[in-house]
Each structure stands twice: as structure tokens, then as C-alpha cells.
Amino acid sequence: METNAENTDASEVSPLLRRVDLSVSIADLDKAVEQRLRGVGKTMKMPGFRPGKVPPAVVRQQHGAQANHEALRSELARLLNQTLDEKRWRIAGAPKLEAGAGDSDTHLQFSAEFEVYPDIVLRDLSSFEIERSVLEVGQAEIDRTIEILRKQRVRYETVDRPAAVGDQVSIDFLGRKNGEPFAGGQGQDYRFVLGEGRMLSDFENAVAGTRAGESKSFEMTFPAEYFSSELAGQTVSFELTVKEVGEPVLPAIDSDFAVALGIDNGDLEQMRSEIETNLRREVKRRLQARVTQQVMDLLLSANPIEVPQVLVAGEIERLQESVRQDMRQRGMNVKELPMSADWFAEQGRRRVALGLILAEIASANDIRAQPQQVRALVEEAAQSYEHPEQIVGWHYAQPERLREFEGAAMEAQIVDWVMAQVKVVDKPVVFAELMGHTS
């Protein structure tokens, strides 16, 4: 078909939204349809006719609508691509096509509306600063980790004394609002540990100091920001009976403890060695995660960009499906769970913006996932399994299983690139803070 500038008219609707008016010659379209029908007729089979000898009228009756649709679609795509090339626009998502209302006897009018990728001009980062958290794993950190592992295996022995912070209590309780029981305000044989924050502080304070067999009544006011609007800021009364007080007993650091941690021979030195190896790996991961978070935040703030809403919508759908999949694995009925797209809007926008910025950095600096880096990440992840070599082999059995690691390798290189551009200030971090330990 002949091409000329009069076939299209392009305009900018908004920063990323574009509209292109397309004019298709009816005469040229008819020629294209005839050409397609002739091609179909050469191979068409029908009872009573030899292959390729079906009458043209029959071919048109059987395949005319499809040929017309395909020819029109091909011509619209050609005209649109011509405009995209001329304007150097990169289209994001599928265009929305609408038939026009032109009165022409010689042309069909259509419009295509679509979003384009933004033009990204990366900002110089030399004036920015990033704090890099640093922590050396030593014996103190290993000892602290062992204490945490002991607390995770704590047992409680019944004692006859007032309950104190750290004790596990078993209680019956009933709450009333305006003299009437309220939803969620009652429990039987309910167990919790004082000081862990599972219950509101006023409730825990009322339980502290009571003994098994003791009952008491008290009033308390729910916080104004309490998640239940029916209880937020409301004063209620509780009646409770303490049924049992248990004192925490930590396991001794002996061979039985080592066996419980997976050291079959119960050797304590081997236990400490494995704890140290795992701890160093986890500390490294958390330190890197902190740096990565700062880098991503910096890239977003230094390079504000418009993002195509069609890409954001797609990212929101992926986030929603990820949540649904997680809930299915937990045995929950996701059909009954409302899931507004608004909940994921900001996260979706952030992910799209970061993806575009990272892709621009990778393209501008020829950054690619290197095989040796991918291999190192796979092997590192496999170390947490009993047979690492089998996990590595499983990932390499199918290339698509490596995509997550290839993405991680690319991200790590980009983070290194950014860190080379900015001013880096090392800042020691407290072990408990890094690991999220509250006690």
C-alpha cells in the first residue's frame, strides 16, 4: 500500500498519553483483502472441488470477514508503527483503537490512543551521600544469637507466685462495653507471655502481680488509634481469672541443645561454627538490603519520572495475584476477601518507576547479569538447604528458574554502580537493631 503523511495525525494528550488519527484507503484495503483471499483460495479444500479450485465467490463467503479483519488490522498496525518510528515513541501496552465518524467515501477513519515510555535523563549523583551500615560478627554476636535460639525453645514450669514480666499466664476473661459483652472481648484458657506486647499494656498491667486462682475486675480504655472503630477510645470493663502462671526455663547449652539445632553428633564447637556461618550470611544479607533500599530511594528521588498507568495497572494485578497465591497456600478463601487496587497503587507505581530507571542505567552503562555472579547467588541461596548441590542443579535444570537470580545480579551491579558515583559514609550499626531484636 502507498504511504503518505496524510494517513496519520498524531497529538499529545498528556505527558505520556498519545493519540494518533489513522486514515485507511478503502481501495487499498479492498486490494489487500483480494490478495489474502487469493492466497486462501490456492490451498482451500471443499467437497466437490479440487484443492485450489474453489470458486472465488465461495472463498469470499467463507473467509471474507476474516480476510477483511486481518487486512484492516495489518494496515492500522503499519500506519501506527510508521508514526511511532517518526516520533520515536516507545509504546507502553496495547493501543486502544476506535472507529472514527468520518464521512469520506474513500477512507475509513480510526483513532489509536496509547501511553508511551518516558524519556529518562539520569541525574548526576556525585553530590549525594549514602550511609553504609557496617557490622563485624564476633563472639558477642554469636553468643547473642545462641541466647535467642535458647529463647525460641523456652519451656514454662508452673510456679506458685505472682506473675511477672516474662512469665506465661493462662487466663479466662470477659470484657463488657456499656454492660454488654463485645466481640473479641472474651477467652478461655488463653495463654500469653507478659511483656511480649501481644495484649494491650493496660491489660497486661492488670494481669501482672496476680496468682493462679485469683480473679479481678478492672476498667481500661482502648487507644484512640485501635484498629476496631467500635472500641477505639472506648472505656470497657474486664473480669478475669488467672488459671496458671508459668516461669520460663531456657534449655542448657549442651549436646541435646546442639542436636535440636541440627548437629547430629551434638558437638558444641560444630554448633557454634555453623551458627557463625549462618549469622555472617544473614548479617551480610541485611547490610546489603539496607544499602539497596537507600540506593533505590535515592534513584527515585533524584530521577522523578511520569510512569505509564497501563504498566502500573499490570504491576498492581501481579501484586494482587501474589497476595492471593500466598493466601491460598495458607488455606484461606480468597474469593471472599475484598482486594482494592488502591491498596497496591503506590507500591505498583514505585516498582514501575524503579524498573524503568534501573533499565535505563543498565542500558546506558552496558550492565548485564554475568553468569559467574548468577552462579554465586544460586550457590549462596542453596547453602541453607541440607543438600546444596541438589538445589543448584534444580535451578540450572531449567533456565527460567534462574530469572530471579539474574534480576538480583543485575540489581547488585547497579547498586555497585550507584555506590561508585555517590559519597559513601560508613556507619556502625548495633547488632540488635540490624537483626530486629527487641530484647
The tens place of each residue's pLDDT in the chain, 439 residues long, gives: 444 444 666 676 778 999 999 999 999 999 999 999 888 888 888 887 877 788 888 888 888 999 999 999 999 999 999 999 999 999 998 999 998 876 688 999 999 999 999 999 999 999 999 999 999 999 999 999 999 999 999 999 999 999 999 999 999 999 999 999 999 899 999 999 999 999 999 999 999 999 999 999 999 999 999 988 899 999 999 999 999 999 999 999 999 999 999 999 999 999 999 999 999 999 999 999 999 999 999 999 999 999 999 999 999 999 999 988 888 887 777 676 677 889 999 999 999 999 999 999 999 999 999 999 999 999 989 988 889 999 999 999 998 999 999 999 999 999 999 999 999 999 999 999 999 876 5
> Of 79, 90, 97, 98, which is closest to residue 115 (Cα–Cα)?
90
Rounded to whole angstroms, the Cα distance separating 347 from 354 reads 11
Domains annotated for the chain, with CATH where assigned, are: 5-116 (3.30.70.1050), 129-139+277-308+342-435 (1.10.3120), 155-249 (3.10.50.40)
Interatomic CA distance for residues 422 and 124, integer angstroms: 9
Residue 220 β-bridge partners: 236
Closest of 98, 265, 244 to residue 162, by C-alpha:
244
Reading the block at residue 28, the C-alpha cell is 487499498
- Specify burial of residue 241 (Cβ count, 10 A radius: 0-12, 13-18, 19+): middle
Q: What is the pTM of this model?
A: 0.77
Q: How far is CA 290 from the centre of its chain?
A: 17
- Whether 45 and 62 have beta carbons less than 8 Å apart is answered as no
